[in-house]
Amino acid sequence: MRVVRSSRKTAVIQITKKGEVVARVPRFMSEKEIKKFAEKHSEWIEKNLARILEEKENAKPAFSDEEVREMMQKARRIIPERVAYFAEVLGVTWTKISIRKQSTIWGSCSINGNLSFNCLLVLMPQAVLDYVVVHELAHRLQMNHSRLFWSVVERAIPDYRSRRNWLKKEGGAFLARLNK
């Protein structure tokens, strides 16, 4: 068990996604008190540690290098076509398109008009891929997430909310698999 001391007032035990047990305790808490606290919560620790390790064991394997290469190739074909189509719909331009294996985001747009997209988008339903493309292109008109920004997105994709919700709900599993 790893002990992390800080200015907190109470002690807490956490189990990380990797299965590490961490005790976050007040600076003044003695080793004896920490041990007693951990023993008091040993049943909870064992139960949750077993659950996390089982989930980790049963998790889908990460994508192979070959699968990532295939996704990158497919993304380099499909995404520029969708960008060109929706850029015309929105009346915007872009500078360049990058396709990457990104661990936390689906896309981004720089102030200079450089667009970057996650190769995993090719595994999503076409409607979700299109939503991400439109989302990033909308930043060419509004570099924020204001009402004006969302009205630009809605102009191109009236049902963007359902697509966005799907990505929020289902997309994390794809990112988690990529990051193993």
3-state secondary structure of 18: coil
Low-confidence ranges of the chain (pLDDT < 50): none
In this predicted structure, what is the pLDDT of residue 16? 86
- Which residues on neighbouring strands pair with residue 2, listed in sequence order? 22
Residue 47's φ and ψ, nearest 5 degrees, are: -60, -50
Quick one: which of 24, 5, 27 has its CA closest to 14?
24
What is the topology classification, in CATH, of domain 65-178? Zincin-like (3.30.2010)
Q: Rounded to an integer, what distance in angstroms lies between the CA atom of residue 149 and that of residue 135?
A: 9
Domain ranges of the chain: 2-58, 65-178
In this predicted structure, what is the pLDDT of residue 116? 97
Q: Rounded to an integer, what distance in angstroms lies between the CA atom of residue 36 and that of residue 29?
A: 11
In this predicted structure, what is the pLDDT of residue 61? 59
Question: What is the pairing mode between strands 96-100 and 12-15?
Answer: unpaired
In this predicted structure, what is the pLDDT of residue 78? 97
Q: Rounded to an integer, what distance in angstroms lies between the CA atom of residue 64 and that of residue 21?
A: 30
In this predicted structure, what is the pLDDT of residue 178? 65
In this predicted structure, what is the pLDDT of residue 6? 93
Handedness of CA 37, 38, 42, 47 (dihedral sign): positive
The residue whose two tokens read 């698999």 is 177
Cα-based distances in Å from 17 to 25, 46, 86, 113, 146: 20, 14, 39, 36, 34
